[in-house]
Amino acid sequence: MLNAAVAGLGWWGKTIVATLRDSANLRVVMAIDPDPAAAAWAREHGLDHAGTLDAALTDDVIQAVILCTPHSLHAEQIVRAAQAKKHVFCEKPLALKRADAVRAIEACRKNGVMLGVGHERRFEPPMIELTRLAKSGAFGILLQIEASFCQDKFLDLPAGNWRMSQSEAPAGPMTATGIHLLDLAVSLFGPAESALARTRQLGSALTNGDTLAALVSFKSGAALLLNAILATPFAGRFTLYGNKGWGEVRDLSHVENPKGWMLTTCLRGGEQVLRDYPPAPAVKANLESFADAAAGKSTYPMTHEEMIATVAALEAIVTSSRSGTIAAVA
């Protein structure tokens, strides 16, 4: 059992605490948040409370930290945790710039600690099957992905919330939902080489933008067509095309409250095959995979190179959305 501290008790930090309540290998024992109300919430949930990350980093009981903090803080917090010999699970995005991702990962490597990232879409059963089919060659040469991840959970955010900040959440929906689709594309296509993106504020008070469209080109020659919106009810779709077939995952609900998925596949010369998948705790599966890897029981299924490639492509998307021109991936 890995003892962990959760840093950041916003919407997602509290969701993580609830998700791990019955985990067999990862136990949350401390909550970290400077908000005075967080202390009462922590006590109600049987957790120790601290106002700063330092309390966890100097506590021998704490073996890992789970970062649910604003994006710009991630890299420095990962470095500090690694130097304190604590394993780190960081919510997405790992960083906003490639250089910061490299710095954070090097600190984890140097100090021999495990690093996990909140890309739980990789742990959804139909996505695991889609990836297996793609890597087996069933779809042939991988050509293109069309992907969409939309939600309206942020419409009631108070003015000044960090999720509406151009510095903390640039390109609006990209760091909230689009980053998941980008990570999946990297896992299938490898590193990206350029991005052309547009972000607009069209249907909400989200001043950093609520509607994003992006075309990401990969070194393999494949492309990702990405749609991410924060001003419409939930919708999720991920379609992978190859020259021998295609597969599409349809989400029935947001990952916070999974209701299952539909996977449709079609191979050349055959009919479309539809398979229903029941709900599965992908967020918990990711965290427990991280805990198992930290304990040396398994290999975490996300490489450092993939983590860096995703952040590098994110940085190019943000650059393009600001300039209106194609941006090269660092």
Rounded Cα distance, 66 and 232, in Å: 30
Is residue 15 domain-shared with residue 56, that is, in the same domain? yes
Mean pLDDT by 10 residues, the chain (330 residues): 96 95 96 93 95 96 97 97 98 98 98 98 98 98 98 89 90 96 98 98 95 98 98 97 98 89 98 97 97 97 98 98 97
pLDDT tens digits for 239-284? Answer: 999 999 999 999 999 888 889 999 999 999 999 999 999 999 999 9
Is residue 144 domain-shared with residue 254, that is, in the same domain? yes
Is residue 126 domain-shared with residue 275, that is, in the same domain? yes
Pairing of strands 245-251, 48-50: unpaired
Is residue 114 domain-shared with residue 126, that is, in the same domain? no
Domains of the chain: total:
2
Q: Hey, what are 221's tokens?
A: 């020659």
Q: Which of 86, 119, 152 is the C-terminal boundary of a domain?
A: 119
Q: pTM for the complete prediction?
A: 0.96
Rounded Cα distance, 79 and 108, in Å: 7
Is residue 34 domain-shared with residue 130, that is, in the same domain? no
Please, which residues have CB within 8 angstroms of residue 37's CB and are 6 or more apart in sequence? none
DSSP states of 250-319: EESS-TTS---EEEEEEETTS--EEEEE----HHHHHHHHHHHHHTTSS--SS-HHHHHHHHHHHHHHHH
- Residue 145 structural domain: 121-328
CATH number of residue 161's parent domain: 3.30.360.10
Rounded Cα distance, 32 and 14, in Å: 11
CATH number of residue 111's parent domain: 3.40.50.720
